[in-house]
Every structure is written in C-alpha cells, then in structure tokens.
Amino acid sequence: MRVAGSLLIAAVAATLAADIGSAVRAQMAATDTRTVTLVVPIAPGGGVDTIARVFAGILAERLKQPWVVENRPGAGGAIGIESVAKADPDGHTMLQIETSAVLQKWLHKDVHFDVVGDFTAVAQMATTPLFLFANSSLPVANFNDLIAYAKANPGKLTVGTPGIGTPHHLAAAMLNAAAGIEIVHVPYKGTAPALNDLLGGQIPLIWATANVVMPFIAAGKVKPLAVGSLQRVPILPDVPTVNETVAPGFDVSVWFGVAAPAKTPRDIIERVSREVAAIDQMPEVQKKMAPLGYNLNYADSKSFGEKIAYDHARYGKAIRDAGIKPD
C-alpha cells in the first residue's frame, strides 16, 4: 500500500509541476518584451510582404512586444524558410509562410528543410484565389466555351504564369489534366510581364490573382473566365469556379499564415494564434485587404498544419504528374 501511495503522490506531484510550468511559461510569454522577427522569404513588395507588415504592426500593439518584418529573399524563398527552420524555437523568430513553401522540396534538389517536420503551424491569416483571365479578343464567352475551344484546338492556346513551379503553373497543369485539354504553358519572370503580354495579345490567357488584373477588367481589356477556389469569391461573384464546371474538387488558392520552428512552446503558438484570429475579425483590416482580393479566413494551428501537410502531398503529386523535374 505504501508503494501505491508513493506512486500516487509522485503522479500528482508530476501533474502539478507540469501545470505550474505551463502557467509560468504563459506568464513569461505574456510579459515578454523581446523582439519577434517575422521573416518574409521574398523581396519587399507583393502580397506576402503586405500581409506580413499589416499583421506584424497590429500584433506588436496587441502583444505589447516589438514585431519586426525582415525580408530574407533568395533561391525562390528557400533561404528565408531554411533560416527559420534552423532558428531557436523560443518564439522570437517566425515565418510568414505561403503556398510556395510546400512546393520547394518537389522543385529543387538542394532543399535543407522539411516544411512539415521542421515547423509548427501557428495560424492561417488569409487566402487569395487564382483566376483564369483571357484577353478580351479571345473568341469565347465563358469558361465552358474555353474548354470546348481548347478541345477543338489542342496545343493552339497558350497560358502565361509567373514561372515554372508556381501555384499558377500548377493550376494550368491541373486544369489540363482534369479537363482533358492541352493549353501550352508559357512561364514568365513574374506576373507583370505575363499580364503585359496578355494585354498586348501575345498570349490569350493567364493565371493570376485578381488584384493585379481588376483595372483591366473594368476597362474591358481582360475577361475573367474561372476561379480556382472551391467557392465563388466576393471580388468577382459572377465568375464560376473550375470546381462547379469541369473539375469537381479543383482547388488552387494561395494561402498566407505564420509558422514557427518546430518545438516552439505551445503557449506561444496558441497566444499568437489567438491574436491572428482577432485581427482577422477587425473591420479596418478587412476593409484594407478586401480590395486586394484577400479573404481573411483564420485557421488555428491544428487546421493550418493539416492544410500545409495536405497541400505538400497533393502539389507534389501534381508536379510529378505534370513531369516537372526538380532543378
């Protein structure tokens, strides 16, 4: 009996110690004034950088703790991502992560991080869908017309994207596979040159986010044919999804969020995650992001981590199926 009693006392003591330790860590996190560096693995400007700076500014105010955005571009984002994977898991270095992070392993041989194993997802901040846009002179009235035209003219249509291995490229490859068509991919060094060639009539189609194309839709120079998200989106509500037309389950959207090095304490992860959820609900943030085509749709650490793992696997399959070889 004395042995059993001793074991019970030891178990209770261990539980109390764990609870006290958790409470101490939470208190330390709540009073931590050391700077958090939010690494953006691309150059300043663009959607990833914009969202990082908006959220970092508000996180600093709400957490009473400096949040500094640091751009670490290079190797298609791999340099910045790897730097966070190797950082101390103390909550003072985090990553502004987006969809291209899950593509790195499949596109490049010299990748020294595991986007699933080396990180803990903190929270999803926002998503933005990819649209298929056409030059206004293309003789199709809607997306179904385009599919019929592509089937009747295999290999004669081209579609521009910001480059090989981008989500836009995968959208083009996945649409070809799902619809049984052959639209030739033309990679560019960014969306801007692809859009310029679309406007100039050098290519009839591009995959792009809505924010860069909206002025040309209003001017009648570009027409949106389809959106790659599962549901229609408010910025262009009359544009059908690929999912509802020719390819059920088709989903190619760009997501944005925060990740931390693996083994970062859960107290810190959950604290930042709660703040991201609150920021997503702020009317002033929604007002700022909506015209840019961003949907503020929070996902917690568990759900966002599952999304990262799921997309890592499914995009890997899409890249292999499309015959895209790692460089």
Q: What's the pLDDT at 36?
A: 98
In contact, 179 and 99? CB cutoff 8 Å: no
Q: Residue 82 falls within a domain, yes or no?
A: yes
Q: How many domains does the chain have?
A: 2
Last residue of one domain, picked from the residues 205, 220, 245: 245
Q: Residue 21 falls within a domain, yes or no?
A: no
What is the pTM assigned to this prediction? Answer: 0.82
Burial class (CB in 10 A: 0-12, 13-18, 19+), 287: exposed
CA separation for the pair 226, 239 (Å, rounded): 6
Hey, how many other C-beta atoms are within 10 angstroms of the C-beta on 3? 7
Q: What's the pLDDT at 204?
A: 97
Q: What's the pLDDT at 133?
A: 98
In contact, 207 and 192? CB cutoff 8 Å: no
Q: Residue 13 falls within a domain, yes or no?
A: no
Task: Say whether 72 sits in a helix, a strand or coil.
Answer: coil
Q: Residue 276 falls within a domain, yes or no?
A: yes
Q: Residue 1 falls within a domain, yes or no?
A: no
CA separation for the pair 34, 90 (Å, rounded): 11
User: Which amino acid, 292?
Assistant: L
User: Which amino acid, 251?
Assistant: D
Q: Residue 19 falls within a domain, yes or no?
A: no
* Residue 232 and residue 156 share a domain: yes
Q: Give the Cα-Cα-Cα angle 61, 66, 67 (nearest 5 degrees).
A: 90
E-assigned strand segments in 41-106:
67-71, 93-98
188-197's contacts with Cβ under 8 Å and 24+ in sequence apart are 188/160, 188/161, 188/162, 188/163, 189/162, 189/163, 190/162, 190/163, 191/162, 194/160, 194/161, 194/162, 195/160, 197/160
* Residue 122 and residue 146 share a domain: no
Provide φ and ψ at 290, rounded to 5°. Answer: -60, -45
The CATH number linked to 232 is: 3.40.190.10
Q: How many residues does the chain have?
A: 327
Q: Which domain holds residue 173?
A: 131-245
CA dihedral 230, 236, 237, 242 (to 10 degrees): -30
Q: What's the pLDDT at 31?
A: 65
* Residue 261 and residue 113 share a domain: yes
* Residue 122 and residue 135 share a domain: no
* Residue 265 and residue 228 share a domain: no
In contact, 270 and 120? CB cutoff 8 Å: no
Pairing of the two strands 253-261 and 119-129: antiparallel
Q: Residue 232 falls within a domain, yes or no?
A: yes
* Residue 197 and residue 295 share a domain: no
CA separation for the pair 222, 89 (Å, rounded): 47
* Residue 216 and residue 140 share a domain: yes
* Residue 293 and residue 237 share a domain: no
- Terminal CA-CA length for the chain: 67
Mean pLDDT by 10 residues, the chain (327 residues): 47 48 49 92 86 97 97 90 97 96 91 96 95 96 96 96 88 93 93 94 95 91 95 91 92 94 98 98 93 90 98 92 82
Q: Residue 17 falls within a domain, yes or no?
A: no
Last residue of one domain, picked from the residues 209, 225, 245: 245
* Residue 89 and residue 230 share a domain: no
